[in-house]
Amino acid sequence: MHFSSKVIHYTDYSFQKFCNENFGINRGVYNTIENWFYTKGIKNITRRRQAILAFLEFTAADFHHLEQRRIRFGSGRLVMELNEYWREGEYSK
């Protein structure tokens, strides 16, 4: 699933709402993901939002084959998924 480039220019509220509607992540999970990429050095908001969408698409693939629309992260799994995604270099694709 590839999204229009205009999505990354939405307001903060609208971008988070888009992530919720398309991936089922709540505001708290979204904030954790955004902060994680920020601390990894992605300071530019446009690049960070691109990274967030790419991460969510990457992660959603595991859930869609199970016919689940929403991404579910159990305790500690979100950071584990982020670290795996970063380690595999998926953020640069």
Residue type, 47: R
- Between CA 48 and CA 11 the distance in angstroms is 14
Give pairs for 68-71: CB < 8 Å, separation 24+. 69/24, 70/23, 70/24, 70/25, 71/23, 71/24, 71/25
Residue owning tokens 């270099």: 89
Tell me, what's the pLDDT at 33? 95
Helix or strand run (H / E) with residue 87? helix 77-87
Q: Which residues of the chain fall short of a pLDDT of 50?
A: 65-66, 93
Tell me, what's the pLDDT at 76? 77
Which pTM was predicted? 0.83
- DSSP assigned state of 7: G
